[in-house]
A and B are shown apart, each in its own frame.
Chain A
Amino acid sequence: MGKTTFASALARFSASTGKKTLIVEMDDKGALAHALNTSELQFAAREVAPNLFAMSMNTEDSLREYIRLFVRNPLVNTFGPLAKILDFVANAAPGVKEILAVGKLCWEVREHNYDIVIVDAEATGHIVAQVDAPSILSNLVQVGVIREQTKWMQEILHDKATTGVVIVATPEEMPVLETMQLLDTLQNTTNVGVSAVVANRVHDDVVQGGDVAVFNSLWQAVQSNNMVNDVSEALRAPMRLLNVATQRRRNEVENLEQLVARSRQGGVMFMSVIDIDTRDIDVVTAMTQVLKDELQ
């Protein structure tokens, strides 16, 4: 979908406006480091460009930090590898792994360590479980440290001026469908706000406005051999090739219309980013420019 690219562009844009920015990769796949053109990211944030800090989420490190900060249990070091226990608890108790990740993000926000925290989240299917983890857990857990923790996390996550989800989708059928489902789920079952829906890799029209009729009649003439041979030969293959793009564009427009309508209805900002076809790092640069033009 171009989620990592978009998050990187947003972070670079934000850093360029002088905001101290933290960008976090949640799925540990290394794509963010690639997009930011930097070496492997760690749990400890590193300044990769002026004002731009980057880190990679790791729930085990997060748990260590959490225990150090909140539980202050001297026994922590006596029960061996934390990873094993964490794995077990995370498997057994829904939301624990999620809350360790979300908790770390909320912590950075609460402590005002940065002006803005941008999260390159995991795939669509996981996001609800993550942003809603504090609420889910507070329903399941009656007392204890976590219960108290979920309170301030929810305050941060549920404040629409502080936290917002940005959904990035390509204008194809499945991603658009997923996006609309995600909008429904977020708006109906959670208190987390959606800031924007971004349609990425939107293709340009081959021709626009009144030129469409000219293009179409030319296409008809070429198809029906209604032209001087030389001319139709020069036009036929290029137009056939473009026709693939035109048909795809027609589907895109239909999908985009649905997406725009659904976004508006939910009061969500919608923007589209035109197809940028270059190497990964250049895409980030190009997209950062698009964001500057759009948002400033």
Chain B
Amino acid sequence: MSALRSVLENGRLVVVTGSGGVGKTTMSAALGAFTASQYNRRVLVLTVDPARRLADALGLESFGNAVVEIEASALTQNGVPAAGRLFAAMIDTKASWDELIERCAPNADVRDKVLSNKLYRNLTERFVHSHDYIAMERLFEAQQSPDYDLVIVDTPPSRNALDVLDAPRRMKEFFASRLLKLLTTQAQSRLFSLAAKPFFLVADRILGARFLTDITEFFTLFRTMEDGFVKRANEVEAVLKQNDTSFMVVTTLESAPLHEAEFLIDALRERGYSLNTVIANRVTPLALVSQAQIALSKLETSIQDPAFVQAVVKATEGVEPSAEQISRVVSSIARKSAEAVRKGGAEQVTLDALHKRSADSQAELCICTISGAEIARASALVALGESVHPA
């Protein structure tokens, strides 16, 4: 059995990484839908930014922070009902942060003060790393929940795909930083600290005294939640390294995503995460490329053949094409498919290199061929997930 199928059947957490625009979200949903249809498992797909069509395909009015179950009938494949169940949720950063604060705040007073703090609202909405941290937070929560057997997480688009995985560590470092301590050891003692003086002088001057006070206030509140955050960060890090957690890298065969994928493959291994699968997405079907290549030599010699032209005229009788039209269409077919064959050949070379790279990292390379077809129903997602096969 392929390593991918084994993970879907037995794993607990799958983290899907890859550069933006490679079809990560659709792939996560497709693998989730396939798993729920094939195995008796309760699968949760956590996504960051689902496309409208994906929500439509899943039969969902809207995606939200709350988990919703996908109608079982939508997963029925060729009359066979789904063996498992499929759930989905979209991570809403703002709502998730609010929930987190409510849980970690030592009392109602701190909670309300934090939630209404101007800086907090800006931090959660605009601060880039806040998305990364919250994705990790939601992942942990879902992984711990007894309601799901398998959780598939689609990671948010980041400057760097690893930022997401580093978010818990960053949070710990933030709480441990000397400067945070300095800033939050209120005015009384900090005025006496000689070392801190230049910092406050410059900071006051650049940022304005009032702003610094605001920051101080907010982080003094925030520090009361240190224990909760640090404990959680440690737990998240542990979960990511658990045996039943595996990572996946999704890429297309274009140069930029591929470059990012290669970086991820190395970086994941360096950090000791278990990279199980590399998925090459939107690959031109190889068999079709070679068939077309063989046919093309025939086509190129036939174009001038009167018998060939006559056969084409006969086949297109209904639309009564002119001689020029026929020659234009046929030569277009020849030219464009030759181009597609050439591209397909180049893809194969890239794919071979990726195969080797994956094998070197003990990861299985899987292929998802391009269909061009639209994913309009959940059953199409199941089929897409099923079509992912080892190279």
Binding site for B on A (CB under 8 A): 1, 27, 31, 67, 71, 73, 75-76, 78-79, 84-85, 88-89, 91-96, 122-126, 128-129, 136, 140-147, 170, 172-175, 177-178, 204, 206-207, 210-211, 213-215, 217-218, 221-222, 226-228, 230-231, 233-248, 250-251, 277, 280
B126 and A248 within 8 A (CB):
no
Tell me if B122 and A241 are in contact (CB < 8 A): no
Contacts A79-B199, A93-B215, A231-B302: A218 and B315 contacting too (C-beta < 8 A)?
Answer: yes
**3 A-B pairs with least C-beta separation:** A144-B208, A247-B372, A221-B315
Is there contact, CB below 8 Å, between A221 and B316?
yes
Tell me if A217 and B319 are in contact (CB < 8 A).
Answer: yes
Q: List 7 A-B contacts (CB under 8 A).
A: A126-B159, A140-B211, A144-B206, A144-B208, A207-B329, A213-B319, A237-B292
Q: Which of B127, B204, B294, B332 contacts A237 (CB 8 A)?
A: B294
Interface contact B319-A214, CB-CB below 8 Å: yes
Q: Is B78 an interface residue (CB 8 A)?
A: no
Enumerate chain B residues within 8 angstroms of A75, measured Cβ to Cβ. 198, 201-202
- Name the distance in Å between A79's Cβ and chain B's nearest Cβ: 5
| Interface residues in B294-341 (C-beta closer than 8 Å to A) | 294-296, 298-299, 302, 307-308, 311-312, 314-319, 321, 325-326, 328-329, 332-334, 336-337, 340-341
Contacting residue for A231 out of B292, B308, B343, CB 8 A: B308
**Contact flags B163-175 to A (C-beta < 8 A → 1, else 0):** 0000000000010
Chain A, residue nearest B315 (CB): A221
A277 to B344, CA, bound (A): 12
- Report A-chain residues with C-beta under 8 Å of the C-beta of B158: 123
B292 touches A247 (CB 8 A): no
A236 to B287 alpha-carbon distance, docked (Å): 13
Residues from chain B with Cβ under 8 Å of A89 in the complex? 203, 207
A228 near B311 (CB under 8 angstroms)? yes
- A145–B212 Cα distance when bound, in Å, is 13
Which residues in A have their C-beta under 8 angstroms from that of B360?
Answer: none
- Which of B21, B25, B284 has the most chain A CB within a 10 Å cutoff? B21
Do the beta carbons of A214 and B325 come within 8 Å of each other? yes
Find chain A residues with CB under 8 A from B337 CB: 238-239, 241-242
Q: Which one of A67, A146, A174 lies within 8 Å of B25 (CB-CB)? A: A174
Contacts of B288 in A (CB 8 A): 237, 240-241, 244
Measured CA separation A75–B206 after assembly (Å):
13
Main secondary structure of the interface of B (DSSP, over half): helix
Question: Chain A CB within 10 Å — which of B157, B295, B298 has the most?
Answer: B295
Q: Are A143 and B202 interface neighbours, CB within 8 A?
A: no
Pair A217/B315 contact, Cβ less than 8 Å: yes
The answer to the question of B1 belonging to the interface, with a C-beta cut-off of 8 Å to chain A, is no
Q: Which B residue's beta carbon lies closest to that of A277?
A: B343
| Interface flag for B271 (CB, 8 Å) | no
Give the size of the chain B interface in residues (CB under 8 angstroms): 85
CB neighbors of A among B223-238 (8 A): none
Q: Are A125 and B128 in contact (CB under 8 A)?
A: yes
* Closest Cβ–Cβ distance, residue A141 to chain B (whole Å): 4
Closest chain B residue, CB of each to CB of A280: B255
Residue B209 is within 8 A (CB to CB) of chain A in the complex: yes
Contact of A242 among B21, B128, B336 (CB under 8 A): B336
- In the complex, what residues of A have CB within 8 A of residue B23's CB? 174
Q: Could you tell me if B372 and A248 are in contact, using CB atoms closer than 8 angstroms?
A: yes
Alpha-carbon gap, A206 to B372, bound state (A): 14
| Whole-angstrom distance between the Cβ of A29 and the nearest chain B Cβ | 8
A66: nearest residue on chain B (CB-CB)? B206
**Inter-chain contact A143/B209, CB cutoff 8 Å:** yes
* Residue from A27, A95, A141, A146 with most neighbouring chain B CB atoms (10 Å): A141
> What's the Cα separation between A217 and B319 when bound, in Å?
8
Contact pattern, B 267-308, Cβ under 8 Å of A = 1, otherwise 0: 000000000000000001100110110111011001000011
- Measured in the bound complex, the distance between the Cα atoms of B131 and A124 in whole Å is 14
Within the complex, the shortest CB–CB distance from B337 to chain A, in Å, comes to 4
Whether A238 and B292, one on each chain, are in contact in the complex, defined by CB atoms closer than 8 angstroms, is yes
Q: Assuming the A-B contacts A140-B214, A237-B294, are A210 and B332 also in contact, with contact meaning beta carbons closer than 8 angstroms in the complex? A: no
B374 touches A27 (CB 8 A): no
> Is the beta-carbon distance between B215 and A73 smaller than 8 angstroms?
no
Contact of B325 among A67, A141, A210, A246 (CB under 8 A): A210
- Give the CA-CA distance A141 to B52 in the complex, in Å: 38
Q: Are B123 and A73 in contact (CB under 8 A)?
A: no
Please measure, in the bound complex, the distance between the C-alpha atom of A227 and the C-alpha atom of B157, giving whole angstroms. 50
Inter-chain CA distance A221–B313, complex, in Å, is 11
A4 CA / B21 CA spacing, docked (Å): 15
In the complex, are the beta carbons of B340 and A241 less than 8 A apart? yes
Best-surrounded residue of B207, B294, B370 (most CB of chain A within 10 A):
B207
> Does B373 lie at the interface of the complex (its beta carbon under 8 Å from any beta carbon of A)?
yes
User: How far in angstroms is the closest Cβ of chain B from A243?
Assistant: 7
Residues in A whose Cβ lies below 8 Å from that of B177: 88
- Checking A94, A214, A244 against B326 with a beta-carbon cut-off of 8 angstroms, the contacting residue is A214
> With the chains together, A1 CA to B344 CA distance in Å?
21
**For the complex, what is the distance from the CA of A242 to the CA of B341, rounded to whole Å?**
10
> Chain A residues with Cβ under 8 A from B211's Cβ?
93, 140-142, 144, 146
Q: List B contacts of A170 (CB < 8 A).
A: 21
Say whether A71 contacts B205, CB under 8 Å.
Answer: yes
**Bound-complex Cα distance A144 to B206 (A):** 6
Given A215-B333, A248-B372, 14 further pairs, Cβ under 8 A: A27-B159, A91-B129, A91-B174, A96-B207, A124-B20, A174-B25, A177-B51, A211-B329, A211-B332, A214-B319, A233-B295, A242-B337, A244-B284, A251-B372
Are the CB atoms of A217 and B318 closer together than 8 Å?
yes
